[in-house]
Amino acid sequence: MDLNKRLFINIIPGNTFLDKLSGTTKVRLFIALVILLVVTWDVRIIWPALVVAIIGLVSIKPNKKLVLGLIGFVTLMNLFNLFLVWVVMPDSGADIVGASTVLFRFSERYVVTAETLWYFMVRFTKFMATFMISITFIQSITPSEMAAGLYSVKIPYKVATMVSIAFRYIPEISRDFGDIKISMQARGMELDPKKTSLFERLKQNVVILVPLIIVSFDRVGNIANAMDLRGYGRGKTRTYYSEHEETPNDRKMKVVYLLLYVAVIAVIIGRIFFPGEFEIWAPWI
């Protein structure tokens, strides 16, 4: 119970529209959206994607406090980053958007142009759309569905298994980590960073890591044997218990992601064969 709360990904499937889609649909949809956002700088694509991302995120009823906190944190980071970009290149909009309409001037070098602001806005929304799609994806998929979804996009099932087995043992390893830390504390290790020097903290970590590594990898043989005994790796293919059959909703979303892939190809072709003079479209240019 506590563990499921602590992990950002959910182990137990939810029951909203997105949750109920199959792993295959979720993974393919996610990949399509992310690639589309990576290849485009056009707000006519980015903004609708952002709207979709927000709707998606709200629809899965996530832990509000957690998600808002995250979004706040990421927004601040981004704004700070953009500020740094402005400090380094105050007129970056000129190259990318193709004009330089000064709105405000601090000094010879430090100007605020409409194009730079537009570029920053596009960049910010592009980032936020990607970010929100990511957290929607993580919050609506279980590790098992993810394994099945990865397998559906032709990733070898052994790699997909790595993902699900890793999630299976993350709680065990966190517990061991906590236990070992505690036992070292009881033997006299001072963990309060205020009372120790950096060098000592580094040394302490050696003392905690050695048993943790040994205990963690001690498991490997037993787990592998348990899998071999149940026929893991004997076939070229595999099926997934957690991967339900296509529902009508999956079929609808299939149309959506297929269209998205077409859009991705169109954008890429457009950018290769008809490169505009400038990277970013702006309504006034």
Q: What is the footprint of another protein within residues 63-92 (CB under 8 A)?
A: 66, 70, 73-74, 81, 84-85, 88-89, 92
Q: Which is nearer to another protein, 35 or 256 (CB)?
A: 35
Among 65, 108, 245, 274, binds another protein (CB under 8 A): 245
DSSP string, 23-58: HHHHHHHHHHHHHHHHH---HHHHHHHHHHHHHHHH
At 176, the amino acid letter reads D
Can you tell me the distance from the alpha carbon of 201 to that of 191, in angstroms, rounded to the nearest whole number?
A: 8
**Token pair for residue 216?**
């963690």
Residue 221 makes contact with another protein by CB under 8 A: yes
Q: How far is the CB of 260 from another protein (least distance, A)?
A: 17
With contacts defined by CB under 8 A, name the span among 108-116, 212-220, 249-257, 263-271 that binds another protein: 212-220
**Contact partners, residue 174, CB within 8 Å, separation at least 6:** 3
Residue 140 makes contact with another protein by CB under 8 A: no
**Token pair for residue 241?**
């218990």
With contacts defined by CB under 8 A, name the span among 42-50, 101-109, 210-218, 257-265 that binds another protein: 210-218
Beta strands in 83-124 (DSSP E): 102-105, 111-113
Q: How far is the CB of 168 from another protein (least distance, A)?
A: 6
Residue 12 makes contact with another protein by CB under 8 A: yes
With contacts defined by CB under 8 A, name the span among 48-56, 231-239, 251-259, 267-275 that binds another protein: 231-239
Between helix 114-140 and helix 43-59 the angle, nearest 10°, is: 30
Q: How far is the CB of 78 from another protein (least distance, A)?
A: 10
On whether the CB atoms of residues 116 and 162 are closer than 8 A, the answer is no
Residue 184 makes contact with another protein by CB under 8 A: yes
Beta strands in 97-163 (DSSP E): 102-105, 111-113
Residue 121 makes contact with another protein by CB under 8 A: no
